[in-house]
Every structure is written in structure tokens, then in C-alpha cells.
Structure 1
Amino acid sequence: MSHTQPVFKRRKRMLFSVFAGVTTVGTAARAHTSEGGFVLLLPTDMYIASGVLAVALTVAMLVFLPDNEVRNLFRPLRLWRVQMQRLPNVTSLLSGVFLLWLVYIGLEGPRDPLANPMPLTIWTVWWVGLVFLQGFVGDIWRWINPWSGLVRVMRPLIGFQPVLRFPPQLGHAVGLASFLAFVAFLLADIAPSDPARLARAVLGYWVFHLIGGLLFGPRWMTRAEGISMVMRLYARLAPFGRRGSRRAIGLWGWQIAQNPALAFGLALLCLLILGSGSFDGVNETFWWLAQLGLNPLEFPGRSAVVWQTLGGLALSNLLLVVVFVATLWLGLKLGKISSVGLGQAFCLFAPTVLPIALGYHFAHYFTSFLVEAQYALIAATDPWAQGQDLLGLGQVYVTTGFFNTQESVRLLWLCQAGGVVVGHIVAVLLAHTVAVKHFGSGRAALLSQVPLAIFMICYTFFGLWLLASPRGF
């Protein structure tokens, strides 16, 4: 205790210093919200400037704070010892059965996406809610992965050794393609929320990766199944994790700071998560529709922009990777770092963008989740839309009353903007910690972070601009 307590006291002082700047800036913004109206209660220029300034102040503090103080932020507290558990195999098996039930009800149930549990579970409960909790809390996916339990049950039927050897030269390429295919379906398919269409897509994806897991063994799920790869990356960001033989808890990102660099394919996936999430926001804005020559008030439908959406998704990810690599290259030159090459730097620093991706995931989907989660609750108690009450909840009504008052809308906007800003602040602190760990303390590590810090400040502006931009569909 004598060693641990001072570390956590210093950590509390550091956290207070960082977030005091955010609170001060946020208070200044709230003082001017009355002129923003119901749509933008925080005037666009005020809350964008406030968020960018909060991140810039964090960067400035790193110039004066001792490196050890920042590194101490990402030292976890060890908890209980890890014990082997078979329960995740059971819950995974149940998750697979539940997924097949969703597929059935997607094919045979009501056609309304807001009444059928299939799209509400996949897009609202899982993609919005559980993906966020995976990064915000801990590794939930380990318990609800719909493949691992069934693969474990079926493996004795085909032998415990993999039938085929996964080609090592592929690296994580299959997983990257799998993730991009998922995002392409989400953003570019003409009707991704149609229950039957979504059910067929989910069933095809599940069967494909089940066969892969059976033939190639566990390596398939770590190198070829894109969703599980994304979930494992977000689990590295979460405060609850594993340190040695014990469970541990720490600040978001401590597992990234403490663990070795990622493989190149996983590092690239970190950028693709951020780039795809960002384009998900850009894709809906008036600005993007104007680039396509479309009137946002007369949007012709998703079928008219399928190829433009796919092209925009590819271009956004490519542009982000190029800019990120350029900032790392310039940082290595400024810091005169010769011990770490550009490829290794990419694998070290790419995971530091995950807090930004998670913060924007929260901000982008927050308001829609508040509404659609209510529909999901109704669908859970009445999956066939026949007036049933399976959960015994009584009559449940959907409300959007939180959009009808000035105070509630102000609170929603502050939560969204706060998610973006806090994500960037954690990313800045995490990147600096990684630099100090691998480049050493002092001027070299600090200079190496200047381009990356500028990148993150600019991305703060971009993320808040996306929140403020009017949307066409």
C-alpha cells in the first residue's frame, strides 16, 4: 500500500488538471447556449472552439508536466487472479442460438424495421450499444461471441487439430476485408434495415465464419473475422482488462500503453475503424450530398448513390491512413528518432486513435439510440407485433420528449460534444505516453509528438463540425 497510494494520488491530481480545463471551457460555452435555439443550442463556433481549445490545452500541459506523471495515468491497479472459465463457452453457445432466432424472426416476422427485433438488435442494441460498452467497460464480446461456443462443441466431430492451415502470408487481410464488407453493407446497401435482407446477410456472414473457424481453428477468428478483431481492439481500450495473471483496471487505454505494438494488420484496422466511422458521419451531411450534386431536401434514395458511397468510404480511409503516416514520418524527423522505423511507429501509434473512434461512435449514435432503444424494448416484449407482452412490461410507448425542451436538448448536445472531446484528450495523453515509453523522456519524444498532436487537434475540429452539420437523410 505504501507504494500504490502515492501513485494514485499523483494520478488524481493529473486527472483533475486535465479535466479542469475541459470543465472551464465547457462552462464558457454553456453561457452562450440560449442563442443557439433547439437545433444547435451550443452555437457552432462556440462549442467547436471550446472543444478544440480543450484538446489544445491538454497538449500544452504535456509540455510542462513531467513524463512520469503522464505515464502514471496509464498504470493499472491489479485486482484478482484470472481463473479458467468455461462459462463463456456456454454464453457464446446461447448467443449463437439467439442469433439464429433473430434470423428466423427477421425472415418470418413483421416487415417494419421498427417492430422486428432483427434490425433493432443488430443495429441498435449491438452495433450502437454493445460496441460502445466493449470499449467503455471491458471485453463483453468474449461472452457473447456467437461462434466460439459452437466451434468448441463441433470440434470433436472433425478433430481437435485444424483441418487447414491459415496462410501466414495473408496476415490480417481477410479480417480487414471482412470489416470493410460489413461497413459497406451498413453504409451503401439499399436497405440494410430491411428485416429479411439483414437476416440473410447476417446468416451468410455467420455461416461463412463458422466454417472458417471449423476448418482453420482459432487463428481464423483472430485474423479473418473482422467483427471479432474490432471487438478485441476496443477491449484493449477498455478500463477493465488483464495484466499478467490478474484482472486489472485503469484509465481508458492503459492496455494499449502497457502492451507491445500491434501487428501491422491490426494497426491498420485501428485507422479503418476511425476512417469508416468518420465517413459514416460525412455521408449524411448536406456538404457531402452537395458534392454529389444532390438536393438534400429531394434525396432520391440510397440506391442512387451506392457507388458514390463506396468510393467515398474507400477515399476517406485512404486519406486518413496517408495523413496519419505523414504525421508519424514528420514526427520521427523532428525528434530525430532513428531507433524506431516508420512501420514500427505506425504499429505503436495507430491504436492511440481508438479513443477518438469510440468517442465519435458515442456522439454520432447517441440521440438515435435514445429513440430506437425504446422500439427495441417494445419489440423484445412483442416480437411478432401482435400485442403480446412477453416481458410483463405493460403498455410501452415511445417518447421523444427529450427533444422538445431547451434544457434537455442542450444536455444532449453537451454529452455528444463531450464524448468527442474526451476521446481526443485521452488519445493525446495515450500517444504521449507511448512516445515516452519507446522514444525516451525529454525533447526527442516531445518533438516527435508535435505533428500527431496537431493532427488530433484538427480532428477534434472535424469531429465537432460533423456533429454540427445539417443532415440530409
Structure 2
Amino acid sequence: MTRSIIAHGLGGSSDLPVPYAFSVIGAAWALTFTFALVAFAWRRPRFDPDNPVRPLPSAVTAGVDSPVTRGIAAVSAVALACWALLAGLCGPQTQANALLGAFYVLLWVGLVVLSLAAGPVWRVISPVRTIYLLLQRITPECLARPRLSYPESWGYRPAALGLFAFVWMELASPNPAAVPWVETWLLVYTVVLLTGAWLCGQRWLSRSDPFGVYSMAVSRLSPLRRDPKTARIGIGNPFDHLLSLPIRPGVVAVLAVLLGSTAFDSFSSSATWRNFADRLAGAIHAVPATVSLTVLRTVGLLVFVAVVATTFSLAARATGGLDRERRHALPGELAHSLIPIVVGYIFAHYLSYLVERGQQAIFALADPFGKGWNLFGLGHLHVAYVLSTHPTVLAVIKVTSVVTGHIVAVIAAHDKALRLLPAGHQLTGQLTMMLVMVSYTFTGLYLLFSA
């Protein structure tokens, strides 16, 4: 996709008037002070997923759990998906096509906001899950029971592959702006999920749907959750909610794809990357430039994801006092601490993209076929560049998002380490993780300013 669609609203360093040196120094002090505070004043674990929440009125839980509410939400999501697909098929085959905005903006970035605000909403609004449930009602003899058991050893690994397929499509494929490419991606996604659900039932959807696992992971930072005893919806401590992240194979890979791909997107917009890519493409004459660039971006994307997964896993295991089996389990046990970093960097990287490109996507859906329609009075509105025209505010939001995400991650990791690490290793066992998180912070700020 041309960068006008995929740039995610990030400009260059000229859009960030806050000096980079000041941001790095501030981040260093904030993380150092946070780690010193929790290391020496926080000696007992305080967070627990079983802690009670402050319940909201019972009508809220009843309304959310109502089949009518869920049915309306599910049908509305299917209708919106069909509308966007029709736009892809019948609308203008240009960057202005409504399917592109719905796919790259409203789905990928908007899902983060929805999940933070309302919990793991994708399990309710997923069009594929809705189609599967309808097929189950229509043909109960075919879908009454799973034909195979979902292998527990797979965990979230299929979802990690699905997420990588999405970010590859967005950041490394030859032409992400081509509507047929997006339609093909969605067709494969739907076929894979429905076939897996036919074989393994809904467990396949809950473990393998990349957007479902994405929504579930992000929602662990939401203050809204259900009371563990009464199942009533309430407001609780997000640190307690973070600990409810299921620990399954592939959970680190999922978060590594999310963080690594966002970092690569920033880096691929920098002058350093562009100059390197241009020199390499010019040096390889036997291969078309499009192919060489696709291969190069694919390798770069893989490297960024692998670096996140490797550094986090090694840092989590760099402690003494545990046997090999327990040390091997530590990355999964601490994976929840990556969620604040992922969310913070997503907000820093994609916020202006969501607010401003999101408006364009909604306006395009009001005129999906390029006929001059004005559905709901949206077709003739203009984008309000509320963030791009206030660069100082945007810069502060970006830097604050990155630093806050890392501070929350340090606190979450420390509290869990107090439960996992034996006495005598509870401080030293966190030093490597602290260094890795500091390096993530500096790298994230550097990429943010150099993009």
C-alpha cells in the first residue's frame, strides 16, 4: 500500500517538537525511579486476578449478557463487514476504497480502543464466529460436535501466524493497497477459521482467530471486567486484570508480533531504512525491484519480531534459584507485562492515524461505490486534523504513551516476579528484564522520532 494509506498518521521528527534528548532523559529517570521504588518498597505481591471489582449496576451486566444485545451487535458487525466487502468489489479500485480503510484502520487500530473500553468484544462481533453459529443452527447434524480435539500444545500459535500474516500484508507485501489482495486475504482468513471450527469447534476460533486473541490480550488492560465470583461486570484494578491473561503456548509470540511489527513500521518509515532499501534494490539488477523490496521488508519484519521474542524470553529466564522447567515457563508467566508496552506503543504510533484516517474510512463507507451518496450526512464531511495541527500535543501524547506503557510493564513484571522468584533472587532476577524494558523504551522513542 502506498504510504498515504499505511503511514498510520506518523510524520517525521518535525511533527514531534519535544526534543528527543529530553524525552530519553525523562524516560530514563521515570523508569529508574519506578524500578527503585518497587524494588525496595514493594516487597509483597499485591495484584491478584481473583480480587473483587466494584460492581456496576446489575442492569449493565444483564444488558451486556442479553441475547438481544449480543445479537444486534453481531448482526451489525456482519452487515458492516458485508458493506465493506461490497465496497471492495464494486467501489473504485483506488486508495479511496472503503474496504481499505475498514480493514487497515477501523479493524486493526479501532479494535484496540474497543477492547480497552469494553473488553474482548471480538468474541461477540466477529463476523466469522457469527456465521459459524448460524451454520450450527442451520445444520446441527454437521456442526453439533467437534470432529477433532484442538491440540493444547498449539495454544495461540495459529493466532500468532495469523497476526503475522496481517502485518506482512500491511507492511511487506508488494501492493497492500490493491483491493483484490485484501479480498483474497479475507477469503483465506474466513476459510481457515471456518474449516478449523468445523474440525475443532469454537475452541479453534478462541485460540486461532488473530483478531480474537488480539482483542483478548489488549482487553486485559481494561478496567472493566467480571467479578471472578459473581460474574458481574464491574470496575477493577487493571493490574489485577492483566494477571488473568491465559498462559498458553504462543502467547509470547502473539505479543512479539504486535510489538515487533509496530516497531518495524516506524523503522521502515525512517530515512535510514529507505536509503538502505534503495541502495540494495539498485545493487541487485537480476531481481525486479518490487520482489527485492518485498523480500527485504519480510526479512526486516521477521528480524524485529524475533528480536522482541528472543530478548524478552532470555531476560525472563535470566534468574537463579529455579530449576530448568520453571525457568522455561517464566516467559509465559511474565508475558502479561508486555501488554502495556504493546498498547502504549500502538497509541503512540497509530493515534493520529486512527483519529484522522479513521474519519476518512467512515466517510468512505458513507459512499462505498463512489456514486456521490451521502448516507447519514457523512459523505460530504471533511477530515478534522485535530492532532496533526497541534504537533506539541501530539508529541506529548506519543512520548507519554510509550513511557507510561513501560512504567506499567515494570510494575506488573515486578509484582509477578515476587510470586515466581525465590527469596534471594527476587531483585537480581529482575535486573535483566529491567535492562530489556529500558532498551525497548529507548528504541521505541528513537523509532518514534526518526520515523
Q: TM-score range by the shorter chain?
A: 0.7 to 0.9
Cα deviation for residue 293 of structure 1 reads 5.0
Is 1:106–1:195's contact at 8 Å kept on the other side of the alignment?
yes
Aligned residue number for residue 240 of structure 1:
224
2:325, 2:372 → 1: CA distance?
63
Cα deviation for residue 409 of structure 1 reads 0.7
Matches within 5 A, 1:453-468: 453-468=434-449
Cα deviation for residue 236 of structure 1 reads 2.1
Aligned residue number for residue 162 of structure 2:
178
Aligned length: 423
Is 1:79–1:249's contact at 8 Å kept on the other side of the alignment?
yes
Matches within 5 A, 1:68-467: 68=44, 71=47, 77-79=53-55, 84-86=65-67, 87-114=69-96, 116-135=97-116, 137-156=118-137, 157=139, 158-244=142-228, 245-257=231-243, 259=244, 262-294=247-279, 304-330=292-318, 332-333=319-320, 336-338=321-323, 341-393=326-378, 395-400=380-385, 402-404=387-389, 408-439=390-421, 443-467=424-448
- For residues 399 and 303 of structure 1, do their structure 2 counterparts lie closer, same or farther at Cα, with a shift above 3 Å needed? farther
Cα deviation for residue 464 of structure 1 reads 0.6
- For residues 131 and 46 of structure 1, do their structure 2 counterparts lie closer, same or farther at Cα, with a shift above 3 Å needed? same
Aligned residue number for residue 29 of structure 1:
none
Q: TM-score normalised to the size of structure 2? A: 0.84
Cα deviation for residue 401 of structure 1 reads 6.9
Cα deviation for residue 261 of structure 1 reads 5.8
Q: TM-score normalised to the size of structure 1? A: 0.81
Deviations 1:192-251 (A, max 9, x none): 233333123223312331232233211111232222122211222322122322323234
1:319, 1:75 → 2: CA distance?
35
Cα deviation for residue 168 of structure 1 reads 4.3
Q: Secondary structure at the match of 1:67?
A: coil
Is 1:381–1:390's contact at 8 Å kept on the other side of the alignment?
yes
One-letter code aligned to 2:296: Q
| Residue of structure 1 aligned with 2:38, choices 62, 65, 69 | 62
Q: Secondary structure at the match of 1:241?
A: strand
2:407, 2:49 → 1: CA distance?
13
Q: Secondary structure at the match of 1:418?
A: helix
2:195, 2:402 → 1: CA distance?
39
Structure 1, unaligned runs of 5 or more: 1-35
TM-align CA RMSD: 2.9
Cα deviation for residue 304 of structure 1 reads 4.3
| Residue of structure 1 aligned with 2:20, choices 25, 44, 48 | 44
- For residues 253 and 203 of structure 1, do their structure 2 counterparts lie closer, same or farther at Cα, with a shift above 3 Å needed? farther
Cα deviation for residue 164 of structure 1 reads 3.7
Is 1:337–1:444's contact at 8 Å kept on the other side of the alignment?
no
1:344, 1:38 → 2: CA distance?
44
Is 2:77–2:125's contact at 8 Å kept on the other side of the alignment?
yes
- For residues 215 and 93 of structure 1, do their structure 2 counterparts lie closer, same or farther at Cα, with a shift above 3 Å needed? farther
Q: Secondary structure at the match of 2:16?
A: coil
2:391, 2:100 → 1: CA distance?
27
- For residues 276 and 39 of structure 1, do their structure 2 counterparts lie closer, same or farther at Cα, with a shift above 3 Å needed? closer
Is 2:156–2:208's contact at 8 Å kept on the other side of the alignment?
yes
One-letter code aligned to 1:349: L
One-letter code aligned to 2:107: W
- For residues 394 and 164 of structure 1, do their structure 2 counterparts lie closer, same or farther at Cα, with a shift above 3 Å needed? closer
Is 1:89–1:152's contact at 8 Å kept on the other side of the alignment?
no
Aligned residue number for residue 5 of structure 1:
none
One-letter code aligned to 2:147: V
Q: Secondary structure at the match of 1:314?
A: helix
1:229, 1:167 → 2: CA distance?
17
Aligned residue number for residue 4 of structure 2:
none
